[in-house]
Amino acid sequence: MIREQYVNQPPKPNSFRAGPDEDGRFGIFGGRFVAETLMPLILDLQAEWNKAKTDPTFKAELEKLGAHYIGRPSPLYFAERLTAELGGAKIYFKREELNHTGSHKINNCIGQILLAKRMGKTRIIAETGAGQHGVASATVAARFGLPCVVYMGATDVERQAPNVFRMKLLGAEVKPVTAGNGTLKDAMNEALRDWVTNVDSTYYLIGTAAGPHPYPEMVRDFQSVIGEEAKEQILAAEGRLPDLVVAAVGGGSNAIGIFHPFLDEGGVKIVGVEAGGKGLDGDEHCASITAGSPGVLHGNRTYLLQDGDGQIKEGHSISAGLDYPGIGPEHAWLNDVGRVEYVPIMDHEALEAFQTLTRLEGIIPALEPSHALAEVIKRAPKMGKDEIILMNLSGRGDKDIFTVGKILGMGQ
């Protein structure tokens, strides 16, 4: 799709890893589009984050919790049967679904709650779509003894019931949000309203690499452990870097986490997979880059699904975690500078990939990485047997089995 305003592509930078600038911008994307009430807090957070990221004590604490609480490093797994079945490139999974709480979300939550403690905050709020980030937030809040409120769209509360139950068991209060379609966007609005009201006591633990600066940078840095480990592991296993790295993109935190350490490796092709929902012709998809346009929402400028008046559309995906009408600003920039290719995968393709992996490898993936997997299944057979694909298997599918069972018409 050609957009007129981007006929003049921005120049290629020397490094794709230098952003954001001090105002939190990745090219025209990112920034700090928030109400004045939040601005002082965001500046405090930035100052605290700047201190923490160069503080060896912080790094040591993060690594210790990573190793003994999350279970890092997560394995790199060669999917032998899937590779044989597809008959092309060798497929490796970065097994983030084996982390404590079942997805990559915990990497970011541990980092941010350590920051919240340093800032003296006494209450945690979070938004969640699939519930993975809500569970991870509730988990770290329990681990650090802080009360936690999770905002979740009413539609998602229904379709991700197991995660709602987990959050409640962990002591979090789950507040269903009925505004709009009752999905992730609406949950985020409500979390921002809570934050603006309780600004003194409350830390907003954003789950994806989006929102006002410094969140996109901070979340990326906490998630980059995925790519850093994967790089070492693939070098150990194959003696070289992969030819292709693939990850699913909703807000984009698991994707930026695995992409970022590979961005300056010229020989590595990188593909982000958006939720194509029921197809890009109507409104029932969440392909913000493929079918959206630049706009400002939730504190940052990025690609959004919106109408000609700048009203945000609701979008649709079978996967609650991808059901968001925007995308992290760094992805928007990586698209415009041409470093990462973004493609859509439809609901039914993700569903097929979900079943393929379950049967061939005995791994039940979440519906989010099932989108990445569907793209891998398309590309692997067209690649040589000596080529290597690295995919981020960002979450496990336990939370999705009822949704999938219902669609497939399986008995209870």
Partner 1 sequence: MTARMEQRFTDVAAEGRPVLVTYFMGGDPDFDTSLAIMKALPKAGADVIELGVPFSDPMADGPAIQLAGQRALKAGQTLAKTLELARRFRAEDQRTPIVLMGYYNPIYVYGVERFLEDALDAGVDGLIIVDLPPEMDDELCIPALEKGINFIRLATPTTDDRRLPKVLENTSGFVYYVSMNGITGSALPEPALIAGAVARIKTHTQLPVCVGFGVKTADHARVIGASADGVVVGTAIVNQIASSLTEEGGATEATVPGVEALVRGLSAGVRAARAVAAE
Closest to partner 1 by CB, 34 vs 377, is 34
CB of 154 to partner 1, least distance (A): 15
Which residues, 6+ apart, have CB-to-CB distance to 277 below 8 Å? Answer: 284, 285, 286, 287, 315, 316, 317, 318, 346, 347
CB of 174 to partner 1, least distance (A): 20
**Which member of 127, 190, 229, 274 is catalytic?**
127
CB of 380 to partner 1, least distance (A): 39
- Whether residue 127 lies in the annotated active site: yes
Q: How far apart are CA 126 and CA 327, in angstroms?
A: 18
Q: Considering the rule CB under 8 A, would residue 7 count as an interface residue with partner 1?
A: no
Q: Considering the rule CB under 8 A, would residue 308 count as an interface residue with partner 1?
A: yes
Strand-pairing partners, residue 297, are 300
Cα-based angle 211, 226, 255 (whole degrees, multiple of 5): 45
Q: If you ran DSSP here, which 8-state letter would residue 208 be given?
A: S
CB of 346 to partner 1, least distance (A): 25
Q: How far apart are CA 222 and CA 110, in angstroms?
A: 9
Task: Give the residue, chosen from 3, 168, 193, 406, that forms a contact with partner 1 under the rule CB under 8 A.
Answer: 193
CB of 55 to partner 1, least distance (A): 24
CA 352 to chain centre: 22
Residues in contact with partner 1, total (CB under 8 A)?
38
**Which member of 361, 370, 394, 399 is catalytic?**
394
Question: Binding segment for partner 1 among 8-16, 82-90, 232-240, 296-304 (CB under 8 A)?
Answer: 296-304
Q: Considering the rule CB under 8 A, would residue 13 count as an interface residue with partner 1?
A: no
Q: How far apart are CA 45 and CA 115, in angstroms?
A: 8
String of contacts with partner 1 for each residue 18-57, x by CB under 8 A: -----x-------xxxxxxxxxxx----------------
- Whether residue 94 lies in the annotated active site: no
Q: How far apart are CA 46 and CA 175, in angstroms?
A: 28
Task: Give the residue, chosen from 119, 142, 161, 199, that forms a contact with partner 1 under the rule CB under 8 A.
Answer: 199
CB of 122 to partner 1, least distance (A): 16
Q: Considering the rule CB under 8 A, would residue 187 count as an interface residue with partner 1?
A: no
Closest to partner 1 by CB, 227 vs 329, is 329
Closest to partner 1 by CB, 42 vs 350, is 42
Closest to partner 1 by CB, 56 vs 308, is 308
For 218, the 3-state DSSP assignment is: helix
Q: How far apart are CA 300 and CA 54, in angstroms?
A: 25
Task: Give the residue, chosen from 179, 235, 408, 410, that forms a contact with partner 1 under the rule CB under 8 A.
Answer: 179
Burial of 32-54, coded b for 16+ CB within 10 Å and e otherwise, reads bebeeebeebbeebbebbeebbe
Q: Considering the rule CB under 8 A, would residue 192 count as an interface residue with partner 1?
A: yes
Q: How far is CA 290 from CA 263, 270, 281, 341, 352, in A?
A: 20, 16, 11, 10, 22
Helix ranges, 15-104 (H): 39-53, 56-65, 80-86
Strands 299-304 and 244-248: unpaired
Is residue 325 within 8 A of residue 305, CB to CB? The reply is yes
CB of 11 to partner 1, least distance (A): 20
Query: How many C-beta neighbours within 10 Å does residue 137 have?
Result: 32
Q: Considering the rule CB under 8 A, would residue 309 count as an interface residue with partner 1?
A: yes
Question: Binding segment for partner 1 among 82-90, 121-129, 198-206, 259-267 (CB under 8 A)?
Answer: 198-206
**Residues taking part in catalysis:** 105, 127, 394
The residues binding partner 1 (CB under 8 A) are: 23, 31-41, 179-180, 185, 189, 192-193, 196-200, 293-299, 301, 304, 306, 308-312
